[in-house]
Amino acid sequence: MPPIESVKRPTGLAIFFIIGGLIALTAAFLLTVDKFAILEDPQAQLSCNFSVLVGCSTNLGSWQGAIAGFPNPMIGLMAWPVVITIGAAILAGARFARWFWIALNLGVTGALAFVIWLMAQSFFVLDVLCPWCMVTWTVTIPMFLAVTLHNLTAGNLPAGPRVRRFASVAYSWIGVITIVCYLVAAVIAQLEMNFLNRL
Protein backbone atom coordinates (compact mmCIF):
# COMPACT_ATOMS: atom_id res chain seq x y z
CA MET A 1 0.00 0.00 0.00
CA PRO A 2 1.57 3.36 -1.01
CA PRO A 3 2.20 5.86 1.78
CA ILE A 4 -0.35 8.61 2.17
CA GLU A 5 1.09 12.09 1.73
CA SER A 6 1.05 13.97 5.00
CA VAL A 7 -0.51 17.41 4.72
CA LYS A 8 -0.65 19.58 7.80
CA ARG A 9 -4.22 20.31 8.77
CA PRO A 10 -5.09 23.88 9.84
CA THR A 11 -6.06 22.72 13.33
CA GLY A 12 -5.88 26.18 14.88
CA LEU A 13 -8.13 27.57 12.19
CA ALA A 14 -10.58 24.71 12.71
CA ILE A 15 -10.75 25.36 16.46
CA PHE A 16 -11.33 29.05 15.79
CA PHE A 17 -14.14 28.16 13.36
CA ILE A 18 -15.85 26.13 16.07
CA ILE A 19 -15.39 28.54 18.98
CA GLY A 20 -15.98 31.72 16.96
CA GLY A 21 -18.92 30.14 15.17
CA LEU A 22 -20.54 29.11 18.45
CA ILE A 23 -20.11 32.61 19.89
CA ALA A 24 -21.56 34.31 16.81
CA LEU A 25 -24.36 31.75 16.52
CA THR A 26 -25.34 32.45 20.13
CA ALA A 27 -25.46 36.18 19.37
CA ALA A 28 -27.60 35.58 16.28
CA PHE A 29 -29.95 33.35 18.27
CA LEU A 30 -30.36 35.90 21.08
CA LEU A 31 -30.96 38.67 18.57
CA THR A 32 -33.60 36.54 16.83
CA VAL A 33 -35.33 35.86 20.16
CA ASP A 34 -35.36 39.61 20.84
CA LYS A 35 -36.85 40.23 17.39
CA PHE A 36 -39.65 37.77 18.17
CA ALA A 37 -40.24 39.58 21.46
CA ILE A 38 -40.64 42.90 19.65
CA LEU A 39 -43.04 41.37 17.15
CA GLU A 40 -45.19 40.07 20.02
CA ASP A 41 -44.98 43.30 22.00
CA PRO A 42 -43.48 46.47 20.45
CA GLN A 43 -42.99 47.85 23.97
CA ALA A 44 -41.12 44.78 25.25
CA GLN A 45 -38.06 45.32 27.41
CA LEU A 46 -35.30 43.43 25.65
CA SER A 47 -32.31 41.81 27.31
CA CYS A 48 -30.00 43.61 24.88
CA ASN A 49 -31.18 47.12 25.82
CA PHE A 50 -28.77 48.59 28.34
CA SER A 51 -29.05 52.32 27.66
CA VAL A 52 -29.97 54.85 24.99
CA LEU A 53 -26.55 54.21 23.45
CA VAL A 54 -26.32 50.43 23.83
CA GLY A 55 -29.34 48.41 22.74
CA CYS A 56 -30.78 46.48 19.84
CA SER A 57 -34.37 47.74 19.62
CA THR A 58 -33.47 50.53 17.21
CA ASN A 59 -31.47 48.22 14.97
CA LEU A 60 -34.13 45.51 14.93
CA GLY A 61 -36.86 48.01 14.14
CA SER A 62 -34.98 49.70 11.30
CA TRP A 63 -34.93 48.76 7.61
CA GLN A 64 -31.20 48.14 8.04
CA GLY A 65 -32.10 45.33 10.43
CA ALA A 66 -33.88 43.41 7.67
CA ILE A 67 -31.89 44.25 4.57
CA ALA A 68 -32.93 41.07 2.72
CA GLY A 69 -36.60 41.35 3.69
CA PHE A 70 -36.24 39.25 6.84
CA PRO A 71 -34.35 39.91 10.12
CA ASN A 72 -30.57 40.00 9.64
CA PRO A 73 -29.83 37.61 12.52
CA MET A 74 -31.55 34.84 10.55
CA ILE A 75 -28.62 35.06 8.13
CA GLY A 76 -26.36 34.25 11.08
CA LEU A 77 -28.58 31.35 12.08
CA MET A 78 -28.00 29.87 8.63
CA ALA A 79 -24.34 30.79 8.12
CA TRP A 80 -22.61 30.17 11.45
CA PRO A 81 -23.58 26.47 11.70
CA VAL A 82 -21.81 26.02 8.34
CA VAL A 83 -18.63 27.55 9.76
CA ILE A 84 -18.87 25.32 12.85
CA THR A 85 -19.38 22.25 10.66
CA ILE A 86 -16.35 23.11 8.52
CA GLY A 87 -14.23 23.43 11.65
CA ALA A 88 -15.44 20.10 13.00
CA ALA A 89 -14.85 18.44 9.62
CA ILE A 90 -11.25 19.69 9.50
CA LEU A 91 -10.62 18.34 13.01
CA ALA A 92 -12.10 15.02 11.90
CA GLY A 93 -9.59 14.83 9.07
CA ALA A 94 -11.51 16.28 6.13
CA ARG A 95 -9.50 17.89 3.35
CA PHE A 96 -11.24 20.40 1.14
CA ALA A 97 -10.52 21.18 -2.50
CA ARG A 98 -9.09 24.51 -3.58
CA TRP A 99 -12.45 25.63 -4.99
CA PHE A 100 -14.03 25.05 -1.58
CA TRP A 101 -11.49 27.31 0.16
CA ILE A 102 -12.00 29.98 -2.50
CA ALA A 103 -15.78 29.77 -2.05
CA LEU A 104 -15.33 30.06 1.71
CA ASN A 105 -13.13 33.11 1.19
CA LEU A 106 -15.82 34.70 -0.97
CA GLY A 107 -18.33 33.98 1.78
CA VAL A 108 -16.31 35.56 4.58
CA THR A 109 -15.46 38.52 2.34
CA GLY A 110 -19.17 39.09 1.78
CA ALA A 111 -19.76 38.75 5.52
CA LEU A 112 -17.05 41.33 6.25
CA ALA A 113 -18.49 43.77 3.70
CA PHE A 114 -21.94 43.35 5.27
CA VAL A 115 -20.53 43.87 8.77
CA ILE A 116 -18.68 47.03 7.73
CA TRP A 117 -21.89 48.37 6.23
CA LEU A 118 -23.82 47.55 9.41
CA MET A 119 -21.14 49.22 11.52
CA ALA A 120 -21.38 52.35 9.37
CA GLN A 121 -25.16 52.36 9.74
CA SER A 122 -24.86 52.02 13.52
CA PHE A 123 -22.23 54.76 13.83
CA PHE A 124 -23.47 57.29 11.30
CA VAL A 125 -27.21 56.71 10.90
CA LEU A 126 -28.82 54.84 13.80
CA ASP A 127 -26.54 56.31 16.49
CA VAL A 128 -26.76 53.21 18.67
CA LEU A 129 -24.57 50.19 19.41
CA CYS A 130 -26.30 46.82 19.29
CA PRO A 131 -24.48 44.46 21.71
CA TRP A 132 -25.32 41.18 19.97
CA CYS A 133 -24.46 42.78 16.61
CA MET A 134 -21.08 43.81 18.03
CA VAL A 135 -20.41 40.22 19.07
CA THR A 136 -20.94 39.18 15.46
CA TRP A 137 -18.64 41.95 14.28
CA THR A 138 -15.88 40.86 16.64
CA VAL A 139 -16.01 37.31 15.24
CA THR A 140 -16.40 38.19 11.55
CA ILE A 141 -13.33 40.44 11.36
CA PRO A 142 -10.77 37.84 12.54
CA MET A 143 -12.67 35.14 10.61
CA PHE A 144 -12.04 37.03 7.36
CA LEU A 145 -8.39 37.62 8.25
CA ALA A 146 -7.81 33.99 9.22
CA VAL A 147 -9.41 32.49 6.11
CA THR A 148 -7.78 34.94 3.71
CA LEU A 149 -4.28 34.65 5.18
CA HIS A 150 -4.59 30.86 5.36
CA ASN A 151 -5.62 30.71 1.72
CA LEU A 152 -2.77 32.96 0.64
CA THR A 153 -0.26 30.94 2.66
CA ALA A 154 -1.58 27.59 1.42
CA GLY A 155 -1.66 28.73 -2.21
CA ASN A 156 -5.44 28.47 -2.54
CA LEU A 157 -5.54 32.09 -3.69
CA PRO A 158 -3.31 33.23 -6.57
CA ALA A 159 -0.37 35.18 -5.16
CA GLY A 160 3.34 35.57 -5.70
CA PRO A 161 6.01 34.22 -3.32
CA ARG A 162 6.42 37.57 -1.55
CA VAL A 163 2.71 37.86 -0.86
CA ARG A 164 2.61 34.27 0.40
CA ARG A 165 5.55 34.90 2.73
CA PHE A 166 3.91 38.08 4.01
CA ALA A 167 0.64 36.22 4.56
CA SER A 168 2.47 33.48 6.44
CA VAL A 169 4.01 36.03 8.82
CA ALA A 170 0.76 38.01 9.15
CA TYR A 171 -1.12 34.80 9.96
CA SER A 172 0.78 34.51 13.22
CA TRP A 173 -0.13 38.13 14.03
CA ILE A 174 -3.87 37.81 13.46
CA GLY A 175 -4.61 38.62 17.10
CA VAL A 176 -2.71 41.91 16.93
CA ILE A 177 -4.16 42.85 13.54
CA THR A 178 -7.65 42.12 14.85
CA ILE A 179 -7.13 44.34 17.89
CA VAL A 180 -5.95 47.15 15.61
CA CYS A 181 -9.14 46.74 13.56
CA TYR A 182 -11.21 46.90 16.76
CA LEU A 183 -9.38 50.06 17.84
CA VAL A 184 -9.99 51.73 14.47
CA ALA A 185 -13.71 50.94 14.77
CA ALA A 186 -13.75 52.23 18.36
CA VAL A 187 -12.08 55.49 17.34
CA ILE A 188 -14.59 56.01 14.52
CA ALA A 189 -17.46 55.28 16.91
CA GLN A 190 -16.05 57.70 19.48
CA LEU A 191 -15.55 60.49 16.93
CA GLU A 192 -19.01 60.07 15.47
CA MET A 193 -21.08 59.03 18.51
CA ASN A 194 -19.00 60.29 21.46
CA PHE A 195 -19.93 57.03 23.17
CA LEU A 196 -17.46 57.33 26.06
CA ASN A 197 -19.27 60.40 27.36
CA ARG A 198 -22.69 58.80 26.81
CA LEU A 199 -22.14 55.53 28.68
- Phi/psi at 54 (nearest 5 deg)? -115, 110
pLDDT 10s digits, 116-173:
999 999 999 999 999 999 999 999 999 999 999 999 999 999 999 999 999 999 999 9
Asked whether residue 7 carries a pLDDT value surpassing 60, the answer given is: no
pLDDT 10s digits, 40-58:
988 888 888 888 889 999 9
What's the rounded Cα separation, in Å, for the pair 50 and 11?
A: 38
What's the rounded Cα separation, in Å, for the pair 41 and 90?
A: 43
pLDDT 10s digits, 84-101:
999 999 999 999 999 999
pTM: 0.90
Average per-residue pLDDT for the chain: 92
What is the predicted pLDDT for the residue at 1?
A: 37
| Residues whose CB is less than 8 angstroms from the CB of residue 109 and which lie 6 or more positions away in sequence, other chains included | 144, 148
| Residues whose CB is less than 8 angstroms from the CB of residue 132 and which lie 6 or more positions away in sequence, other chains included | 27, 28, 30, 31, 34, 48, 56, 73
> 45 in helix, strand or coil?
coil
Amino acid identity for residue 36 in this structure: F
Q: Cα-Cα-Cα-Cα dihedral of 13, 14, 15, 18, to 10°?
A: 120
**Architecture of the domain made up of 11-197:** Up-down Bundle (1.20)
With bands split at pLDDT 50, 70 and 90, how would you rate the model's confidence at 199? low
Chain centroid, CA 35 distance in Å: 20
Number of residues that make up the chain: 199
DSSP single-letter state for residue 114:
H
With bands split at pLDDT 50, 70 and 90, how would you rate the model's confidence at 5? very low
DSSP single-letter state for residue 157:
S
What's the rounded Cα separation, in Å, for the pair 11 and 164?
A: 19
> 54 in helix, strand or coil?
strand
What average pLDDT does the segment 178-199 reach? 89
